[in-house]
């Protein structure tokens, strides 16, 4: 039974049916019908119990498998609910004996793939590799299992934010992601292609960067590079991009994988010499330096939404390269650009202040009309010497607007409007402001040339937008830069949500005020004489710009006092304090990461200037290795200080950590609650030293005992 819908076969009925289909949970096709994933897995277990051969493979019952295959009572190629064969089930449950018998009876099973949409393309070798069953992998390879051609392309293996894992499609990437060094070596030695790419273009190195276990990923990365021979002029394995043009190195930065990124940098550095604790190191800037690249690494870092990616900007040599570019070229050019823009806005403002006006020719007919000047026509606007000077300023303004559009439009086409305008760190909202300003200037130009009245409207918008865009240049200063991001987040986050709530309150109370005074004399209390005026007055009351309208010479309606009292409680006390709380929360969140945000702003500004300025004004940073026998790569020299005392402490800790950990465990079990004593006895001195020593070891193991930290000892 269901809710009856009038006109079930008409327009409303069809819309109701479509809405019902949309609201039903999405399901995936499996077998003969459409079943959800949960039902599919339950059905899989049911089918295994129903089919003797599949059940025997699951239970590793070798005798039952031999009996079923010898007497021909079942099909050796029969499949379960998700398109799996008996060999898939044996591999899934790590049943080596059952797999060997199945391969002995039917060797063709070795390359059979699962056929369901969820697990399509998966072979038994995929399962054995991901389960790290070395013996089963050897058995499958011995029976002729294909290594390069099978690709697990089902929905279960595709990269998705809702998936728990992403191992790629090839058997080698499955084995590498699980960290089985023996299986990886075995597969490569038997012909696995280390350069194979999945449907996204990701190699096994890309996939390793995306793994949560950083230590295993680094180990497998080094192992795979050791097999990279680079024969026949092929690119190095770690330089192969995916379909988005991203290499494993860039992907590590975009994902904020600092462990893998530092592992990459260790392979790119060359130690020139050491002098005591000082090391002079040359870092290879390949893929790091954004000079002349279509997709700069630094721009990819600041454009990602992941906060972890901004931590890469603090890693050597990225930090040193950004500081070098900013201090050498970025800051001087940016300050000059800010000064030039302010002078440009002053020129535009003066042109607006002294715009061509003349006396109003006709008489005033409405007492509320206060207009005394009107706009001149095009023929009357440029007659005197002052008009000629203004014309020069107007030409500068129009040329500046055209330059702005010519600089902004190519970036919009290159990056995309959504990404270009949506990135706060890259100044997305300011790009909207400056483009709108330039469009307003062109509208003013058209209206001036056609002698169209009303140019004050686009002119007012242009003045507001142009001067607000000056805040964009605050990003060049560490003290002011984060505040511009704070303002953007408040305007496009807190304020927009608050305006939605405010609009509901204003509409309700403004309508009530208008209805209350609809029958009253508008000359006695004119703030609500019309509906638009009622809306504007209620808005002023909401922001406490004006006090509540009152006229003590007449009797006001009683309901006005009641409605105004409710409005004062809701608007002044509740809504405004809600806005303050929302903005305070935004301020706290931005203040906690202000240093990160400012560095990201500096990087975004540096990349922007480097792309738009001519090469003669912005030469490449670093050292060219061609003159020093290092090829055509560019390097950056960095001096690093190595604290030798830190290494001594680590060696000391390594020597005593085993015995001290046992002593500490026994000590903590027997130790009574500590007393805060200021005795200077030798017993207290020895006890204080022991606690300091044990606390140090616990900190080095990542353990902290708050009770020990609160003790006070006088030594």
pLDDT for the residue 358: 86
CB 178 within 8 A of CB 162: no
pLDDT in tens, 115-143: 888 899 999 999 999 999 999 999 999 99
What's CA 252's distance to the chain center, in Å? Answer: 13
CB-CB neighbours of 604 under 10 Å: 20
Report the alpha-carbon distance of residue 370 to residue 421 in Å, rounded: 41
CB 549 within 8 A of CB 514: no
pLDDT for the residue 11: 53
Is the previous residue joined to 317 through a cis bond, with omega within 30 degrees of 0? yes
Burial group, residue 31, by CB count within 10 angstroms (0-12, 13-18, 19+) = middle
Q: Which residues of the chain have pLDDT under 70?
A: 1-35, 162, 231-232, 364, 424-427, 526, 545-546, 548, 550-553, 643-715
Spell 624-657 as b/e; 16+ CB within 10 A means b: ebeeeeeeebbbbebeeeeeeeeeeeeeeeeeee
Positive or negative: CA dihedral 382, 385, 387, 393? positive
Phi, psi (rounded to 5 degrees) for 198: -85, -170
Report the alpha-carbon distance of residue 459 to residue 394 in Å, rounded: 12
CB-CB neighbours of 422 under 10 Å: 16
Contacts 24+ apart (CB under 8 A), 494-502: 494/579, 494/582, 494/583, 494/586, 495/579, 497/582, 498/575, 498/578, 498/579, 498/582, 501/575, 501/578, 502/542, 502/575
Report the alpha-carbon distance of residue 140 to residue 175 in Å, rounded: 14
Bridge partner residues of 375 (DSSP): 357
Report the alpha-carbon distance of residue 264 to residue 249 in Å, rounded: 7
Burial group, residue 91, by CB count within 10 angstroms (0-12, 13-18, 19+) = buried
Report the alpha-carbon distance of residue 508 to residue 513 in Å, rounded: 9
Q: DSSP code of 495?
A: I
CB 509 within 8 A of CB 516: no
3-state secondary structure of 278: strand
Report the alpha-carbon distance of residue 27 to residue 221 in Å, rounded: 38
Find the helix or strand (DSSP H, E) in which 262 lies: helix 258-268
CB-CB neighbours of 371 under 10 Å: 9
- Angle at alpha carbon of residue 57, lines to 53 and 59, rounded to 5°: 115
Find the helix or strand (DSSP H, E) in which 142 lies: helix 134-142
Contacts for 97 with CB less than 8 Å, ≥ 6 apart:
60, 62
pLDDT for the residue 124: 93
Report the alpha-carbon distance of residue 102 to residue 96 in Å, rounded: 10
pLDDT for the residue 582: 83
pLDDT for the residue 549: 72
For the chain, give every residue range classified as CATH 1.25.40.20.
Answer: 28-237
CATH of domain 28-237: 1.25.40.20
Bridge partner residues of 55 (DSSP): none
CB 168 within 8 A of CB 202: yes
pTM metric for this prediction = 0.72
């Amino acid at each position: 039974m269901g809710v009856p819908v009038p006109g079930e076969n008409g327009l409303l009925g069809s819309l109701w049916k479509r809405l019902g289909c949309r609201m039903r949970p999405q399901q995936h096709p499996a077998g003969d019908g459409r079943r959800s994933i949960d039902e599919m897995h339950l059905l899989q277990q049911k089918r295994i119990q129903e089919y003797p051969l599949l059940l025997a493979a699951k239970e590793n019952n070798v005798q039952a498998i031999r009996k079923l295959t010898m007497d021909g009572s079942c099909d050796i190629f029969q499949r379960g609910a998700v398109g799996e064969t008996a060999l898939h089930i044996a591999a899934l449950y790590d049943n080596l004996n059952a797999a060997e018998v199945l391969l002995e009876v039917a060797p063709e099973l070795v390359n059979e793939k699962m056929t369901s949409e969820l697990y399509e393309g998966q072979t038994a070798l995929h399962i054995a590799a991901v389960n790290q069953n070395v013996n089963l992998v050897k058995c499958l390879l011995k029976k002729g299992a294909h290594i390069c051609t099978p690709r697990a392309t089902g929905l279960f293996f595709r990269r998705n934010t809702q998936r728990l894992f992403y191992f790629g499609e090839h058997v080698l990437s499955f084995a590498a992601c699980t960290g089985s060094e023996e299986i990886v070596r075995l597969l490569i030695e038997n012909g696995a292609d280390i350069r194979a790419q999945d449907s996204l273009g990701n190699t096994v190195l890309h996939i390793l960067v995306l793994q949560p276990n950083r230590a295993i990923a680094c180990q497998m990365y080094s192992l795979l590079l050791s097999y990279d021979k680079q024969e026949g002029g092929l690119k190095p394995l770690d330089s192969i991009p995916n379909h988005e043009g991203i290499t494993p190195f860039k992907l590590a930065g975009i994902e904020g994988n600092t462990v893998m990124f530092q592992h990459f940098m260790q392979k790119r550095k060359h130690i020139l010499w050491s002098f005591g604790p000082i090391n002079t190191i040359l870092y290879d800037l390949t893929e790091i330096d954004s000079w002349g690249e279509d997709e700069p690494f630094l721009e990819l870092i600041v454009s990602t939404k992941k906060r972890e990616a901004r931590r890469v900007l603090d890693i050597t040599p990225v930090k040193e390269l950004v500081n070098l570019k900013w201090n050498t070229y970025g800051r001087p050019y940016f300050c000059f650009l800010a000064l030039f823009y302010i002078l440009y806005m002053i020129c535009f403002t003066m042109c607006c202040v002294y715009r061509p006006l003349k006396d109003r020719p006709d008489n005033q007919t409405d007492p509320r009309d206060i207009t005394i000047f009107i706009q001149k026509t095009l023929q009357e606007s440029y007659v005197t010497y002052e008009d000629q000077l203004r014309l020069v300023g107007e030409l500068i303004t129009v040329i500046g607007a055209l330059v702005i559009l010519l600089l902004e439009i190519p970036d919009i086409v290159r990056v995309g409007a959504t990404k270009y305008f949506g990135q706060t760190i890259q100044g997305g909202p300011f790009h909207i402001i400056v483009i709108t300003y330039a469009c307003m200037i062109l509208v003013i130009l058209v209206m001036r040339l056609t002698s169209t009245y009303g140019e004050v409207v686009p002119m007012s918008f242009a003045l507001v937008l142009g001067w607000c865009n000056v805040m964009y240049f605050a990003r060049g200063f560490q003290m002011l830069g984060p505040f511009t991001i704070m303002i953007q987040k408040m305007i496009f986050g807190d304020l927009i949500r608050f305006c939605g709530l405010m609009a509901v309150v204003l509409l309700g109370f403004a309508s009530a005020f208008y209805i209350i005074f609809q029958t009253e004399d508008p000359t006695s209390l004119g703030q609500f004489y019309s509906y638009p005026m009622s809306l504007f007055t209620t808005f002023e009351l909401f922001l406490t710009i004006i006090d509540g309208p009152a006229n003590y010479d007449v009797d006001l309606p009683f309901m006005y006092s009641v409605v105004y009292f409710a409005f004062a409680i809701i608007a002044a006390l509740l809504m405004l304090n809600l806005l303050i709380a929302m903005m305070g929360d935004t301020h706290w969140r931005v203040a906690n990461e202000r240093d990160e945000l400012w560095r990201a702003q500096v990087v975004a500004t540096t990349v922007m200037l480097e792309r738009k300025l001519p090469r003669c004004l912005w030469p490449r940073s670093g050292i060219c290795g061609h003159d020093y026998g290092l090829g055509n790569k560019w390097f950056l020299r960095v001096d690093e200080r190595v604290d030798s005392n830190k290494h001594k402490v680590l060696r000391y800790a390594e020597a005593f950590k085993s015995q001290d950990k046992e002593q500490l465990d026994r000590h903590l079990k027997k130790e009574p609650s500590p007393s805060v004593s200021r005795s200077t006895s030798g017993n207290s001195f020895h006890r204080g030293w022991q606690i300091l020593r044990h606390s140090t070891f616990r900190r080095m193991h990542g353990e902290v005992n708050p009770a020990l930290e609160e003790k006070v000892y006088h030594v």
